[in-house]
Structure 1
Amino acid sequence: MKRLLLIDGMALLFRSFYATSVYNRFMYTSTGMPTNGVQGFVKHMLTSIETFEPTHVVCCWDMGSKTFRTEMFDDYKANRPAPPEQLIPQFDLVKEVVDSFDIPNIGLVGFEADDCIGTIAKMYRDDAEIMILTGDQDILQLLDDKISVALIKNGYGNYEVHSPSSFFEKKGLTPSQLIDLKAIMGDPSDNYPGVKGIGEKTATKLLLEHSTIEGILENLSSLTKAQQKKFEESLELLHLSRELAEIKCDVPVSCAIDTAEITFNQDKIYSKFDELEFTTLKTFVSKYCS
């Protein structure tokens, strides 16, 4: 059985960048190119390959800040600051490094990496065991009996691995209910409101009682007067928030599974590493190369 590792590239790059930039370590090349995020990315990628032993790997990327979600809601992620100047050149650089490993880089303008991950995961869930590597808990909505998620914790090789059963044990909800949970409580990180005044605890309780947003709305009379008012006043934003929260799994991207098979070529990788002066990283790579 094939084992496909889907990597949330931007999540790994940002995590790697901030892990060292907080100490003002940017690891410039002799030409002045910052590489701290890319070097950390490579370590995370190779550590995850060693840990989960996939036969195939795909890396998915955001392709700019404008997506169908920003068209739906102008303030979507509007609270996020611009990326630091030392990170900006690493966006293209990290894809060049991934390409040197002959790992497909997948992304589509107008969509987020999560949407590409969701689409490819659903595309190949019957042909391979799917593991998604990310730091973003939103992706847990994709969990099913064929799709697992590894959330990166602090350090290298430290993961919180989830299946539908482990997610239920932690949250008391099914993965699909995570979409409704986020729609109700909103998401400060993504900057959409949900139902004002309803937090995670109340939202979870209501979903346990009524299963879905539709079930809650059909039984508004059973809620407290205060809760009824909050839902009624936020009805339009509630439905919008649910659309924003749900990962699209029908994005027009494709990736032939054979192109994702791990066949690392040491000369090709070392050539890129020499160009970027990644001397110490060579020891991480040699065991995987032909």
Structure 2
Amino acid sequence: MTRKKLLIIDGMALLFRGFYATSFTGNFMLNSKGIPRNGLFGFMNYFTDAIHTFEPTHILCCWDMGSKTFRNELFTEYKSNRQAPPEQLIPQFDLCKDVVTAFQIPNIGIVGYEADDCIGSIAKRYHNEFEITIVSGDKDLLQIVGTNIQVAIMKKGTGNYEVYTSENFFEKLQLRPEQIIDMKALMGDTADNYPGVKGVGEKTALKLLQQFDSVANLLKERDSLTKTMHKKITEYEDDLHISKKLATILTNMEIELDLSMAEWKNDHTSILSFLKDELEFSNTDRWLKKLKNDIQQQ
């Protein structure tokens, strides 16, 4: 019996990537109603390629549900350096979810939490029933890699992925998946705007984890550190603790989910109508060919 395969899409990652891949030229692909579609166009390229590449039996798409989450309560400056999304991208958020719905694929998102938390919780909950592939551009999700869970990080261009599995993870990064959390705790994250230990970069953090295995062990054995490093760890210990909490993706959320609704049907009558009539895309055949669709184009 063929094992079931669940593909979890990081919707925001694909949409943002699709938008910025074309918007730098000023091409927002407005339709006759003046609605920008460039992000949707890119999303469809990446989305259909992921389905073609990983051949899932089931698919979900996870989304952030606003800029504020429980992490902002832990650390008020979390992601405060992020600019508001471009005005041309804003209407494409809901339209992209409509695209996913037209594919008869569930959109998952919970207010107060990030898409990563939904992805992590679903992956850990169902990894014994499915072979799970997570598609994203966010390397934070590497901490989720484990038995029957692989993370495919999108690289430049369509169809290029760096796939991390439990078998190749250490060879690629010289760390275990759970050590990614401690790595980010030590380094901090300028993109998400949390501090880590000032003066500790990637090379130093990696060296410390290879020596002490974890932040917990590092703190227990800090007296064996050099005087300079001991001072840094002690001075920024509070930042280290909060950064670890911020870096940790939740994997125990209770999410109402019927995975029978996520079964990939490969029946695109509704998506064809939506893409052509509502969004006015004329080149749908390029996407449907990837999906081995047998519907005759009009």
Give the TM-score category using the shorter length: over 0.9
2:37 is the counterpart of 1:21? no
Task: Give the residue type in structure 2 aligned to 1:285.
Answer: L
User: 1:281 Cα deviation (Å)?
Assistant: 2.0
Identify the residue that residue 232 of structure 2 maps to in structure 1: 230
The partner residue of 2:165 within 163, 166, 176 is: 163
> Matches of 2:235 and 2:206 in 1, distance apart?
20
Question: Residue deviations 1:219-250, cap 9 Å, x none?
Answer: 11110111011111111111100000000012
Runs of 4+ in 1 over 4 A off after TM superposition: none
The partner residue of 1:74 within 68, 73, 76 is: 76
Identify the residue that residue 274 of structure 2 maps to in structure 1: 272
Contact 1:186 1:193 in 2 (8 A): yes
Structure 1 residues 86-235: aligned runs within 5 Å: 86-235=88-237
> Matches of 1:161 and 1:283 in 2, distance apart?
25
Contact 1:140 1:149 in 2 (8 A): yes
TM-score (norm 1): 0.98
Identify the residue that residue 47 of structure 1 maps to in structure 2: 49
Contact 1:103 1:260 in 2 (8 A): yes
**Percentage of matched positions with identical amino acids:** 53
> Matches of 1:202 and 1:260 in 2, distance apart?
43
TM-score (norm 2): 0.95
> Matches of 1:266 and 1:143 in 2, distance apart?
32
2:284 is the counterpart of 1:281? yes
* Aligned residues: CA RMSD: 1.1
Answer with 37-46 or 158-167: which moved more: 158-167
User: 1:289 Cα deviation (Å)?
Assistant: 5.8
> Matches of 2:258 and 2:213 in 1, distance apart?
37
The partner residue of 1:11 within 4, 10, 13 is: 13
User: 1:199 Cα deviation (Å)?
Assistant: 1.1
User: 1:167 Cα deviation (Å)?
Assistant: 2.2
Contact 1:102 1:264 in 2 (8 A): no
Give the match's secondary structure for 1:130: strand
> Matches of 2:273 and 2:208 in 1, distance apart?
56
Question: Residue deviations 1:5-60, cap 9 Å, x none?
Answer: 00000000000000000111110110000010011101111111111111110000
Q: How many residues align?
A: 290
Task: Give the residue type in structure 1 aligned to 2:293.
Answer: Y
Give the match's secondary structure for 1:244: helix
Structure 1: segments with no counterpart, 5+ residues: none
Task: Give the residue type in structure 2 aligned to 1:251.
Answer: M
Task: Give the residue type in structure 2 aligned to 1:288.
Answer: N
Contact 1:8 1:59 in 2 (8 A): yes
> Matches of 1:29 and 1:176 in 2, distance apart?
45
Contact 1:270 1:282 in 2 (8 A): no
Give the match's secondary structure for 2:168: helix
User: 1:170 Cα deviation (Å)?
Assistant: 2.0
Contact 2:62 2:108 in 1 (8 A): yes
Task: Give the residue type in structure 1 aligned to 2:202.
Answer: E
Contact 2:272 2:284 in 1 (8 A): no
